[in-house]
A and B are shown apart, each in its own frame.
Chain A
Amino acid sequence: MAPITPLHYLVVAAALFVLGVVGVLTRRNVVIILMSIELILNAVNLNLVAFSRMWGNLHGQAFAIFIVVDAAAEAAVGLGILIAFFRNKETINVDEIDLLKW
């Protein structure tokens, strides 16, 4: 079979990215939307590490580590916001979180 080029990794990352986008746009459950955002971040990380291997330096991997750190911080704060909202309104469907709607 053909050798595995960096393009193979880019295609896998694109597939994960599109799956994450579908999850964010389509689901009603807030926790699953946050998990789809984590899918998107992982796709970006895979892209970065694949290019880091292609160019032979470490910049992509360092950037990927920072993205993992950032994803951890954002997941913590996002889930904190979710819990704070759930305490008020007892729902986790984004359709029903419409206090600011006209």
Chain B
Amino acid sequence: MNQAFVNSALNAGAAPIATTFFFYMLAAAAVLSGLLVITRRNAVHSALALIVTLLSVAGMYLMLYAPFVAGVQIIVYAGGIMVLFLFVIMLVSIETTVKDRQFNRMWPIGLVAACLLLAIFMGAYSKGKTLVPDRVAQLPEASNTQAIASALYGDVVKTIQFPNGRYVMGQYTFAFEIASLLLLVAILGAVIMTKKRI
């Protein structure tokens, strides 16, 4: 598929075929593995299905021109949090958990409540369809990682070029520092929770 064909497809108002195909493939992978997460008897199978879900959602972030968020998702979520989950499954799963009942006694009510929630979502989306534009905005295809870094950390370029100059805070620098404090508190909490004798 050469560039002329893609250009002509874009100019004719049609969507590129690859975008549609990849979106449906990633969406099907995400929803299918989400279904596997909640229905598997073995917790390790659920964790692996959740990894597949996280990776397909990272692919969808890439389609939405968010490469930094996709990178954070893969490194932190799939590479950090899921490894933590697998370690804990290894520590707490005794062999009898596979033979236990998987669903609790109230599962029909939970299913009905979730179906109601899905109906509310679909009603809201069909009523509010006019609020969402017909096609995704044709923004320039540059990577916005530098812009996110500047928003989170400050003006990165100016800080490197003039190291003794004034520091320009980004829009989210304060929240960034609070997030690092949150991570410190979480580390302390996790260590203290798992000590045998405080």
The answer to whether the Cβ of B175 comes within 8 Å of any Cβ in the partner chain is: yes
Flag if B148 contacts A61 (CB, 8 Å). yes
Interface size (A, Cβ < 8 Å)? 72
Choice from B43, B106, B193 contacting A77 with Cβ under 8 Å: B193
Max chain A Cβ within 10 angstroms of own Cβ: one of B113, B114, B144: B114
Given contacts A53-B136, A71-B81, contact A26 B69 (CB under 8 A): no
Measured in the bound complex, the distance between the Cα atoms of B77 and A94 in whole Å is 25
Flag if A73 contacts B38 (CB, 8 Å). no
Return the CB mask of A51-88 against B: 1 if under 8 Å, else 0: 01110101001101110111111111101111110110
User: Which B-chain residue is minimally distant from A48 (CB atoms)?
Assistant: B69
Identify 15 residue pairs between A and B in the complex whose beta-carbon atoms are under 8 Å apart, listed by A's number.
Answer: A1-B15, A3-B14, A14-B118, A25-B109, A26-B106, A27-B102, A39-B37, A45-B73, A46-B57, A53-B139, A54-B137, A65-B68, A74-B186, A80-B192, A83-B194
Given contacts A6-B133, A10-B132, A19-B38, contact A77 B190 (CB under 8 A): yes
Measured in the bound complex, the distance between the Cα atoms of B175 and A1 in whole Å is 42
Return the CB mask of A21-48 against B: 1 if under 8 Å, else 0: 1110111110110111011001001100
- Listed in ascending order, the chain A residues whose CB lies under 8 Å from chain B are 1-12, 14-23, 25-29, 31-32, 34-36, 38-39, 42, 45-46, 49-50, 52-54, 56, 58, 61-62, 64-66, 68-77, 79-84, 86-87, 90, 92-95
